[in-house]
Each structure stands twice: as structure tokens, then as C-alpha cells.
Structure 1
Amino acid sequence: MRIAYKIWLDNDGKAFGEGPYRLLKGVERTGSLRQAAMEQGMSYRKAWCTLRDIEEKLGFHILEKKVGGPSGGGSVLTSSGKSLMIRYEQFRAEANEVLEQVYRKHFPA
């Protein structure tokens, strides 16, 4: 048996969690929201709407879109977006440690 849980940030509705985190990690890796969305099995429109909703709930931009040109367009995380990702990663890691300790306390091996 193991512990399973979901963690997300809420601001009058789900604002940020594992799905958007994975999407943004994909953008960070590929430089493309379209490519990151495809990797997540999500349409570009759904990804774009999801990130727009997150930005609205959080009150800051997390993604900067670059309009296409000779080398094509792309997307990069804003400094606020990068900060959000780092803080979410740290929060998730700490929460995991604490929850594992509590789990072992109540369900020892």
C-alpha cells in the first residue's frame, strides 16, 4: 500500500496543479506551447485557454508568446512563471516528505 494524493493551488477555483506544471515544463523544454500541448495529449486551444485562465486567477503572466517570423514563433516562461514553477516544485517536494512521514506514522510497514 502507498499514499496517493493531488496538490494544487486554489484561488477561487483550481489555479495551478500538476497538469499545468507538466504543460509548462514542456514549454520550457521545447520552446513551444503547441508542442508541449501535443505531448500532453491536449489541443493547442485547450492549452492556451488553460494557461490564460491560470494567469487570470494568479494575477500575473506566466508565459510570453513570440509571434512567428523567419525562425517561427514560440513561447517562453516569464520570470514570474519560472518563479512559480520553482516554488511549486519545492512546495510539492516538501509536502511529499511530510505526507510520507505522516503516512508511515499511521500505516507502518
Structure 2
Amino acid sequence: MKIGSLWLKVQIACGDALALGPGKADLIEAIAAQGSISGAARSMGMSYRRAWLLVDEMNRCFDPPLVETLRGGGLERGARVTETGLVVVAAYREMERDAAAIAERPAYARLRSHLRVAPRAAED
């Protein structure tokens, strides 16, 4: 959540992998809305390959997987967000709201009072 020049970003790690962050949560929500990884990718302005790699990484980090791909033709093709995926994204969004509430605490104001708008130029 960006507030002024200081924001907190919630990222969930799984070993060395990034299991979930704001972009991946957005992707899961887009898959739920579009019914496919390709449709979600298009709606987010990313390539299908990039979206598929992100879904694959998320699915390898959670048990059971967050997104299920459906093969075949007709109405039963594409992808769907699993019940676990819905629960995980809801919990993640709650954590984002909790992180945003930190901005109302005095420590945030103290930290922000010392934060520069941009980094100093590197010294030679």
C-alpha cells in the first residue's frame, strides 16, 4: 500500500521463491474473473508465458494448488481458482489491509520524517 513516499508491501516466501505478493494476488483474481490464464494475462498486460510461470510458482508453493488448469474443449477449458486459492487471496488481502493500518502508527511517522524523496546521487 503506497502512502506518500513510504509504503509497505506484503510478500510471502516459500524457501527462495516468492509464493505470493501483490502482483500474484492480482493475477489470481484476474484468473477468477476471466476463467483462463491467457485471459487474465491479457487483462493485466502481460504475456501468457509470464502468467503461466507465476501460476506454476504459486502452485508449487501451496498445497493444494491455487489454480487448476482445465484441458479439453467446450465450456470446461481454461483455468479456475481453487477453494484454497480463494482462501489464500482473501487472507493475503487482509494482511495488506493490516499492513496499511501500520501507517497510522507513530513509528511510521518517525520513519517517514527521515526518508528522502529520492536517493542521493552516488559518490564517485
Q: Which residue of 1 aligns with 2:46?
A: 42
Q: Which has the greater radius of gyration? A: 2
Uncovered stretches (5+) of structure 2, i.e. residues with no partner: 114-124
Residue of 1, 6, 16 corresponding to 1:3: 6
User: What TM-score results when the alignment is normalised by the length of structure 2?
Assistant: 0.75
Count of paired positions: 108
- CA offsets 1:23-73 (integer angstroms, 9 cap, x no match): 111111111110111122221122112111122123430011122323362
The 5 Å alignment of 1:25-104 reads 25-71=29-75, 73-101=77-105, 102-104=107-109
Offset of residue 107 of structure 1: 4.9
Query: RMSD over aligned Cα, in angstroms?
Result: 2.0
Uncovered stretches (5+) of structure 1, i.e. residues with no partner: none
User: What TM-score results when the alignment is normalised by the length of structure 1?
Assistant: 0.84
Distance 2:72 2:91 in 1: 31
Higher helix share: 1
Structure 1 consecutive aligned stretches of length 4 or more whose deviation exceeds 6 Å: none
Tell me, yes or no, if the aligned pair for 1:8 and 1:18 is still in contact at 8 Å.
yes
Instruction: Pick which of 58-67 and 20-29 moved more.
Output: 58-67
Which has the higher relative contact order, 1 or 2, with Cα contacts under 8 A spaced 6 or more apart?
2
